[in-house]
Amino acid sequence: MATELTEDRKRVYLEHGGLICPFCGSRAISTQEFNADHAEGWQDVYCEDCEGEWRDLYTLTGVEER
Protein backbone atom coordinates (compact mmCIF):
# COMPACT_ATOMS: atom_id res chain seq x y z
CA MET A 1 0.00 0.00 0.00
CA ALA A 2 2.96 2.36 0.51
CA THR A 3 3.66 4.78 -2.31
CA GLU A 4 6.72 6.77 -3.32
CA LEU A 5 8.79 8.45 -0.61
CA THR A 6 8.76 11.98 -1.98
CA GLU A 7 10.84 14.89 -0.71
CA ASP A 8 7.70 16.41 0.83
CA ARG A 9 6.94 13.18 2.74
CA LYS A 10 10.54 13.02 3.94
CA ARG A 11 10.26 16.60 5.23
CA VAL A 12 7.04 15.87 7.14
CA TYR A 13 8.58 12.70 8.61
CA LEU A 14 11.60 14.63 9.88
CA GLU A 15 9.37 17.42 11.26
CA HIS A 16 7.58 14.76 13.35
CA GLY A 17 10.88 13.43 14.69
CA GLY A 18 10.54 10.11 12.88
CA LEU A 19 7.52 9.08 14.97
CA ILE A 20 5.05 8.66 12.10
CA CYS A 21 5.05 6.66 8.90
CA PRO A 22 6.21 8.89 6.02
CA PHE A 23 3.75 7.11 3.71
CA CYS A 24 0.46 7.03 5.64
CA GLY A 25 1.07 9.05 8.85
CA SER A 26 0.42 6.10 11.17
CA ARG A 27 2.20 5.82 14.50
CA ALA A 28 2.19 2.00 14.23
CA ILE A 29 5.82 1.75 13.22
CA SER A 30 8.48 -0.67 14.39
CA THR A 31 12.25 -0.53 14.12
CA GLN A 32 14.99 -3.06 13.65
CA GLU A 33 18.38 -2.99 15.38
CA PHE A 34 20.53 0.12 15.08
CA ASN A 35 23.64 -0.25 12.91
CA ALA A 36 26.65 2.05 12.72
CA ASP A 37 29.85 2.37 10.74
CA HIS A 38 32.25 5.15 11.79
CA ALA A 39 30.32 8.47 11.84
CA GLU A 40 27.12 7.15 10.20
CA GLY A 41 24.28 5.01 11.45
CA TRP A 42 21.07 3.55 10.07
CA GLN A 43 17.98 1.71 11.23
CA ASP A 44 15.36 -0.12 9.15
CA VAL A 45 11.77 0.88 9.94
CA TYR A 46 8.42 -0.75 9.03
CA CYS A 47 4.82 0.52 9.15
CA GLU A 48 2.38 -2.08 10.40
CA ASP A 49 -0.60 -0.26 8.85
CA CYS A 50 0.48 0.37 5.23
CA GLU A 51 3.45 -2.06 5.14
CA GLY A 52 5.79 0.74 4.09
CA GLU A 53 9.50 0.17 4.64
CA TRP A 54 12.30 2.72 4.89
CA ARG A 55 15.66 3.33 6.51
CA ASP A 56 16.40 6.11 9.02
CA LEU A 57 19.85 7.62 8.48
CA TYR A 58 21.96 9.13 11.28
CA THR A 59 25.17 11.17 11.31
CA LEU A 60 27.56 12.16 14.07
CA THR A 61 26.51 15.61 15.30
CA GLY A 62 28.73 16.19 18.28
CA VAL A 63 30.78 14.80 21.14
CA GLU A 64 30.65 15.20 24.90
CA GLU A 65 32.69 13.99 27.84
CA ARG A 66 31.34 11.08 29.85
Task: Give tens-digit pLDDT for 18-47.
Answer: 999 999 999 999 999 999 998 899 999 999
Structural domain including 53 reads: 7-59
Q: Note whether residue 65 is domain-resident.
A: no
pLDDT at 1 over 70: no
Do 5 and 22 form a contact (C-beta atoms < 8 A)? yes
pLDDT at 42: 98
pLDDT at 3: 80
Q: Note whether residue 51 is domain-resident.
A: yes
Report the predicted TM-score, pTM, of the whole model to 2 decimal places.
Answer: 0.84
Number of folded domains that form the chain: 1
Burial state string for 29-49 with b = 16 or more CB within 10 A and e = fewer than 16: beeeeeeeeeeeeebebebee
